[in-house]
Amino acid sequence: MDSGARGSTRDLRTLVARMRQIVGDGWVYTDAHELRTYESDGLLQYHAVPAAAVLPGSAQETAAVVRACAEAGVPWVARGAGSGLSGGALPVPDGVLIVMSRMKRILDVDLENQRVCVEPGVTNASVSAAVAPGFFYPPDPSSQIVCSIGGNVAENSGGAHCFKYGFTTNYVTGLELVLPDGELVQIGGKALDPPGYDLLGAFVGSEGTLGVATKVWLRIVPSPETVRTLVAFFDSTRDAGQAVSEIVQAGIVPGAIEMMDQLAIEAAEPMARAGFPVGRRAALLVELDGAARECETRFEEVTAICARCGSDDVRVARDSAERDRFWKARKAAFPAMGRISPNYFVQDGVIPRTKLPEVLARIEQLAGEYGLIVANVFHAGDGNLHPLVCFDSMIDGQAQAAEELSGKILEACLAVGGSITGEHGVGVDKKKHMPKMFSEPDLDCFQRLRCAFDPQGLANPTKVMPTPRLCGEVPGPYRQHPLEAAGLAERF
């Protein structure tokens, strides 16, 4: 939006001085070389320099910083670890970047209630580490060693285990928030179902547009008794997809069920050395976890289903070292792409699981049309595709062609009733695709929520919505309803 109309340089100088008072001189950065670290998040093709980056050390400081921004009319963006893949933490030029990385204390580990309370800068992996071995925190994005719980909350992050266990939103029981006007508010806590509207549900996944999370209460769960892992190889992704369907139809809920296509196997194997046979069309990694007895019985069923669906090569991990190798192959697929292609985009689309063969065929056709290579890795249980679109930015026009092809893949997902993002969020990168998934009234309805939290439009203003929107006044002065006049009810 028009940054010119928002605070002049002089106003910004006043704001910076005020922020220095709030957090201390050392925690406000304004020099170009200091700000460079914060120009991009994990999606490096976007970059912008904020006017200042501020690192609050507490919820109160965060609230004071946000209030100062609100009073100065200066937009701000919260940033966790900056691992986001949709440009969500991309700074607003001339705005303030509020970096949560100093707030990384684990405040309370309450195993009796199966809750953990953390500051937002705590990494995802350290939550599970804090409650091991009896318990764990299930949402496990591949970036879990670096990404922050605050970022997870904002993106509603998932991971390989979310088909069975659910996403961040299913684990957040409480939040302390700084609202865009600088007010500090707690919603929920250790108990489920706090009274009133489900503000937790509204906030999780809101991509930093409704406020800053300064404290997060998370539910943890008992660690499974057993984990059994296998990988099965197939002659076609269709057969592998059929196996996925039959496993789910049999009432089996695998902890994880991941698929790689031929190109992904070929790229990953030299790096992971898991012994995956190069040349096979599909690999299906299935992991069952849970109660030992149930797991054993179900594991035999899964093995039989894979064989029945055409796999002549089912390998069961004999020990945890072998299990780790299988996972290494799956997780190597992303970085390994770097070996076979100078550049690549990671796409994130979702389809109904049964449409897998159709959509994969369409992706292959599109790749052919564009003369580009697309490898596929996906969370097969929930239909979340991660096509890796390979290109060489040194070849004129290829980056643009790859970007266009990536967009076409999303359209293919939408054509079968899917979604433009399963876990990476809309951010700045996908806002142009929002109107393909949502109508104007749908977007207007989203905006109502945003305006309820942020009528000034200062919280991460250039994200999620395809076009900038202002918040109108709430229609009319507050009218008392006759029921209220009669003393029968108040307010709502």
Partner 1 sequence: MRPGSIEEASVAMRELGAAGRAMRVRGGGTKRGWTSVACEVELETSGLAEIVEHNEGDFTAVVQAGVRLAAAQAQFARAGQMLALDPPLSGDGGEPAATIGGVVATADSGPLRHRYGGVRDLVLGVTVVLSDGTVAKAGGRVIKNVAGYDLGKLFAGSHGTLGLIASVSLRLHPLPATHATVQAQGDDAAALAGAAARLAALPLEADCLDLSWAGGTGSLLMRYSGPTAAARAGETTVFLGELGLADADVTEDDDALWATQRAAQRRDDGGVVVKVSAPPSQTGAVLAAVEALGGQVVSRPALGLAWVSLAPDDDLGERVERLRAALAGAALTVQDGAAHVAARWPAPAPAALQVMQRIKARFDPARICAPGTFVGGS
Ligand X SMILES: Cc1cc2nc3c(=O)[nH]c(=O)nc-3n(C[C@H](O)[C@H](O)[C@H](O)COP(=O)(O)OP(=O)(O)OC[C@H]3O[C@@H](n4cnc5c(N)ncnc54)[C@H](O)[C@@H]3O)c2cc1C
Q: Which chain residues interact with ligand X by CB under 6 A?
A: 41-42, 77-85, 88-89, 100, 120, 141-143, 147-148, 150-152, 154-155, 157-159, 207-208, 212-213, 423-424, 460
Which residues, in sequence order, are bridge partners of residue 256?
287
Q: Is the torsion defined by CA of 32, 38, 40, 44 positive or negative?
A: positive
Q: Going edge to edge, which strands form the sheet with 96-99?
A: 28-29, 52-54, 96-99, 76-79
Nearest Cα neighbor of 17 from 102, 96, 78, 100 is 96
Q: Which stretch binds partner 1 (CB under 8 A): 30-38, 94-102, 230-238, 344-352?
A: 344-352
User: How far apart, in Å, are the Cα atoms of 393 and each of 5, 48, 462?
Assistant: 37, 21, 27
**Binding residues among 239-268 for partner 1 as defined by CB under 8 A:** 245, 248-251, 253
**Residue number with CB closer to partner 1 (50 or 241):** 241
- Rank residues 125 and 414 by Cβ distance to partner 1 and give the closer one: 414
| Beta strands 313-316; 349-350: pairing state | unpaired
| Count of residues of this chain found to bind partner 1 when the rule CB under 8 A is applied | 107
The partner in contact with residue 79, picked from partner 1, ligand X, none with C-beta cut-offs of 5 to 8 angstroms by kind, is ligand X
52: burial class by Cβ within 10 Å (0-12, 13-18, 19+)? buried
Cβ 160 to ligand X shortest distance, Å: 7
CB of 208 to ligand X, least distance (A): 3
Nearest to 51 by CA among 71, 67, 72: 72
27-to-17, 20, 48, 65, 74 alpha-carbon distances in Å: 12, 7, 20, 12, 18
4 near partner 1 (CB under 8 A)? no
Q: Which stretch binds partner 1 (CB under 8 A): 157-165, 262-270, 315-323, 392-400?
A: 157-165
Closest C-alpha among 389, 387, 414 to residue 400: 389
Closer to ligand X by CB, 366 or 410: give it: 410
Residue 261 site contact among partner 1, ligand X, none (CB < 5 to 8 Å, cut-off depends on kind): none
Binding to partner 1 in span 267-296, by CB under 8 A: 290-291, 293-294
> At its nearest, how many Å lie between ligand X and the CB of residue 154?
3
137 and 166 Cβ atoms separated by less than 8 Å = no
223 binds partner 1 (CB under 8 A): yes
**Hey, what are 336's tokens?**
């390994």
Report d(CA 419, CA 62) in Å as an integer: 34
User: Of these, 151, 383, 457, 461, which contacts partner 1 (CB under 8 A)?
Assistant: 383
Which positions from 161 through 220 interact with partner 1, judged by CB under 8 A?
162-163, 166-167, 169-170, 179, 183-187, 189-202, 204-206
Helix (H) or strand (E) holding 238: helix 237-249
The runs of H, that is alpha helices, within 348-461 are 356-370, 398-415, 434-437, 440-453
487 interface partner picked from ligand X, partner 1, none, CB below 5 to 8 A per type: none
SS3 134: coil
User: Which is nearer to ligand X, 115 or 424 (by Cβ)?
Assistant: 424
Backbone angles phi, psi at 343, to 5 degrees: -140, 155
Strands 135-136 and 115-118: unpaired
Q: Specify the stretch interacting with partner 1 by CB under 8 A; choose among 118-126, 332-340, 364-372, 421-429.
A: 421-429
Q: Does residue 44 touch partner 1 according to CB under 8 A? A: no
- Is residue 449 involved in binding partner 1 (CB under 8 A)? yes
Determine if 11 is a binding residue for partner 1 (CB under 8 A): no
Nearer to ligand X, 38 or 370 (CB): 38
14 touches, from partner 1, ligand X, none (C-beta below 5 to 8 Å by class): none
**Partner from ligand X, partner 1, none binding residue 46, C-beta < 5-8 Å depending on class:** none
Distant-in-sequence, close-in-space partners of 147: CB < 8 Å, separation ≥ 6: 80, 81, 83, 123, 124, 141, 157
Q: How far is the CB of 384 from partner 1 (least distance, A)?
A: 5
Give the footprint of partner 1 on residues 82-141 (CB under 8 A).
Answer: 110-115, 134
